[in-house]
Amino acid sequence: MNIQTSDEGTGSEYARIFRLLSAAKDEAEKLKLHNLMHLANMALLQVVIDWDGIDPERELDVNLEKLVGTKTKLAMKDARDNLVVLDCH
């Protein structure tokens, strides 16, 4: 049984943080701020690790690249669920 403590986030909170960090990384890339891009990538990886509650040092079989891709799809799907499109015509 997975019991959530007060310092753990919900899936939607992790998705929100993931989207914010992704947007910051995209802006850093546009501005050619390579150090900031690297830090954002590290932060995104940490969010994914925390989101799944894994210890990459103990779980050697974890494919972090695949896990990041999965979480990207999930985070962006959640974003689309919150979007409201207004037709100006």
Kindly list the domain boundaries of the chain, sorted by start residue. Answer: 10-55
How far is 78 from 58, CA to CA, in rounded Å?
30
Summarised one tens digit per residue, pLDDT across range 33-89 is 999 999 999 999 999 999 989 887 887 677 878 888 888 888 888 665 554 444 554
- Helices and strands (H and E) in the chain: how many: 3, 0
pTM (global) more than 0.95 = no
Handedness of CA 9, 62, 37, 79 (dihedral sign): negative
pLDDT of residue 1: 35
Is a pLDDT exceeding 50 seen at residue 5? no
pLDDT at 11 over 80: yes
The CA distance from 36 to 40, in Å, is 6
Contacts of 70 (CB under 8 A, 6+ apart): none
